[in-house]
Copies of this chain bind each other. A is one copy, B any other.
Amino acid sequence: MSDLTLDTARTIIRAAFEKGQQMGLNPLSVAVLDAGGHLLAFERQDGASPGRFGIAQGKAYGAVMLGMGGKAQMARAEQQAYFMAAMNGVFGGQVVPVPGGVLLRDDAGRIIGAVGVTGDASDNDEAAALAGISQTGLIAEP
């Protein structure tokens, strides 16, 4: 179903955690989803709050389902809050429209999954996600 491999997902998670450490961020949680929005890998760093999976997954899931990264979703939410509220209804409450959800595209431009990072300020979460993706050959779309 997906060209995204577990090895690639692990690379993203580890590199996102390294970035978080370099930046001195709070403990992070990272979810990597395939092109169908299904979980491939997730890790939550020690000390993070227990609900972090839902948030990380929601950032990535909304990105895949809507074909739109978290930063783009936030712009839409700022402009038309009821639309993003409706999207949450459609997708069972699993859309978290803030930075930290990043689409993954292959070099042909095809969406092959998404990453969701949570734990610090949204912009920092996004920086960690982008650092993670930069260690793969994939294109990140925030």
Contact = CB atoms under 8 A, between A and B. Distances in A.
A86 to B, nearest CB: 5
B95 A58 contact: no
A36 interface: yes
A15 to B, nearest CB: 16
Contact of A51 (B64, B80, B89, B93): B64
**Chain A binding surface, main DSSP class:** mixed
A43 B30 CA distance: 12
A86 B97 contact: yes
A61 to B, nearest CB: 9
Interface of A: 1-2, 5-6, 9-10, 34-46, 48-51, 53-55, 57-58, 64-68, 77-78, 80-98, 110-112
